[in-house]
Structure 1
Amino acid sequence: MASFGYLLFRSAFMLAEQIAPRATGRVAFELFCRTPDPDRPTKREADMLRDSAAFMDEARHHHLRTRDGWVVAHDFGPPEGRSAPAVLVVHGWRSRTEHMRTLIEALRHQGFRVIALDLPGHGRSTGRRLNLALAVAAVRAAADWFGPFSAIVGHSFGGAVAVNAVFGSIRGIAPVEAKRLVLVAAPSSMPGLFEDFGRFLGLGTRTQMALAGQVERVAGHPLESFVAADQLRELRIETLAVHAPDDKEVSFESARQFEDAGDHVRLVRVPGRGHRRIIADAAIANQIAEFAVAGF
């Protein structure tokens, strides 16, 4: 049953739409972009950060300037410290580099230099806002310093960010070069995400249109153009999609859409791994690392 506070919140948006749908759309967009307070981790998060401290100490930490602030890129060299090709790892929403530890370790074991990016409003990066344009700008900053990349590995929202960064979908931001892509439990449709968000808030048609207008204002293109499966169809980059059919946060349908983009995309089904356990599975991480080395 919905809480009283949630019902009141939805009622406020429904009322506001009748008075000022454009303003309500702007408020909804800012609410969508809001990220959790990094200074108030849950107990589980705090335990994870403590357990990952020694691992994070292995990296060099770089503060990269973007057009909207600073992001932190964690530079994990290969085990022997030799010169090595670089792979970029991008976490998802409400996540951070520490959550990607298993993947990072598998990639390093294959001899890669791993650049793990904390997206804006997450981890050690600044801000309390995140959207696709801010995330792609952060990836572009990492590419300017450490690219080109042998592969970009993205989990959840980070997978959508990876595709859009390589595609060059954000106005004013040049495409990022990468030989391969790995999309782990990644969503395909940004319009679908905003439709789900609108239903959660109880937004009406006019406010939903105003919300889409905010996306176009920030990103430079209409919301309906941000469909990663369509972008992959044009990119023709060798891509590995890894997804659990039981994922309750990002529908497996996204993975099917990636697979349908062409024979340059291969889908690996991993039943029982859900949305977050999937990035902590060593066998899956090793498979991803092997793909980053040699492709299909």
Structure 2
Amino acid sequence: MASFGLKVIRGVFGAAEHVAPRLTGRAAFELFCRTPNVKALSDGERRAVDRAADFMAEARHHRLKTKTGCVMVHEFRPEPGRTAAGTILVIHGWRSRTEYMRALIEGYRTAGYRVVSLDLPGHGHSLGRRLTMVNAVDAASHAGEWFGPFAAVVGHSFGGAVAANALVGSVKDIPPLAAERLVLIAAPSSLPAIFADFSRMLNVGPRSQVAMADRVERLAGRPLKEFVGDRQLARTLVPTLVIHAPDDREVSAEHARNYAAAGDHVRLYWADGLGHRRILADKSVVGHAVGFVADHREPALLH
């Protein structure tokens, strides 16, 4: 967002806090949920999509109708000659798409897994311009109905938070996703913390933040304060691998430490020096993510 535009928005939210905090809170929430225009790719993003064209052509593409729209799921079969080992659900992050998850998808295919990659609402080949935890979990649930149960759910960034919330069934009236294992890569652990960061950035005041939280509860059927990953994972014994870079500038390493504190069923692997996005293409990261699912002696893989 341009600095001038950000200053204007901060000024508007700061003034509106004293006049109409509920209206301001709803406006802030809608801005929070607004997704980037999938057609307005940067040069680097366009090159990445173009490089993945042949890779995407190998998939079967399924459009699933959800409660709020349609999402695209890309189904990649195991590499030829591999014994079928189960199905993996892969979920990308904010301003991302299946093409950017290529290294992970290919890693699991090579290990004999069928991979189902979900384009979240408003991203990739899915429709819409709005993404919330609710419509994301709903999309994952529909993928589960068609392609599950899963050997594992693997999520990067916001997709990791979606994966965790889908697995534990945090959204009212959406059943937990059936999966044997969970892999979280550079994933935020706290929705309240994400909202707090967003509010600081846009100068959203405390009364407006209450209105934002009310909106979350109305949509999700649970208060915002319950969407905290370590507390959620503490209530499930699904083996979980958390992969995070200490130098991640978009999602701090503290989120990984919080996840790891959920219990002995959560393992933590530090991917030193890989930041928030380069982590997806690293061979060691892919090896750990695949090995954690394929080899049930996962402690030997970690350090």
Q: Which residue of 1 aligns with 2:50?
A: 50
> Is 1:140–2:123 an aligned residue pair?
no
Distance 2:239 2:3 in 1: 46
User: What are structure 1's unaligned runs of at least 5 residues?
Assistant: none
My pick for the range that moved more, 149-158 or 281-290, is: 281-290
> Is 1:61–2:61 an aligned residue pair?
yes
Decide whether the 8 Å contact of 2:84 with 2:112 is kept in 1: no
Distance 1:59 1:143 in 2: 18
Q: Which residue of 2 aligns with 1:17?
A: 17
The 5-angstrom pairing of residues 1-296 of structure 1 reads 3-80=3-80, 83-295=84-296, 296=298
Deviation of the 1:83 alpha carbon: 4.5
Deviations 1:197-218 (A, max 9, x none): 0001101110011111111111
Deviations 1:230-249 (A, max 9, x none): 11111111000000000000
Distance 1:71 1:5 in 2: 31
Distance 2:209 2:50 in 1: 41
* Structure 1 counterpart SS, 2:200: helix
Decide whether the 8 Å contact of 2:243 with 2:256 is kept in 1: yes
* TM-score computed with the length of structure 2 as normaliser: 0.95
Decide whether the 8 Å contact of 2:95 with 2:123 is kept in 1: yes
Which residue type is aligned with residue 42 of structure 2? T
Distance 1:42 1:266 in 2: 35
Give identity over the alignment, percent: 54
Which residue type is aligned with residue 34 of structure 2? R
Decide whether the 8 Å contact of 1:107 with 1:286 is kept in 2: no
* Structure 2 counterpart SS, 1:123: coil
Deviation of the 1:119 alpha carbon: 0.2
Deviations 1:103-138 (A, max 9, x none): 000000110000000000000000000010010000
* TM-score computed with the length of structure 1 as normaliser: 0.98
Deviation of the 1:84 alpha carbon: 4.2
Distance 1:55 1:142 in 2: 21
Distance 2:97 2:283 in 1: 18
Which residue type is aligned with residue 5 of structure 1? G
* Structure 2 counterpart SS, 1:11: helix
Distance 2:85 2:57 in 1: 20
Which residue type is aligned with residue 22 of structure 2? R
Deviation of the 1:3 alpha carbon: 3.0
Deviation of the 1:80 alpha carbon: 1.9
* Structure 2 counterpart SS, 1:178: coil
Decide whether the 8 Å contact of 1:108 with 1:114 is kept in 2: yes
Distance 1:258 1:201 in 2: 27
Decide whether the 8 Å contact of 2:34 with 2:129 is kept in 1: yes
Q: How many residues align?
A: 295
Distance 2:254 2:46 in 1: 33
Decide whether the 8 Å contact of 2:152 with 2:180 is kept in 1: yes
Decide whether the 8 Å contact of 2:71 with 2:121 is kept in 1: yes
* Structure 1 counterpart SS, 2:17: helix
Distance 2:70 2:212 in 1: 26
Deviations 1:79-112 (A, max 9, x none): 1276441000000000000000000000001100
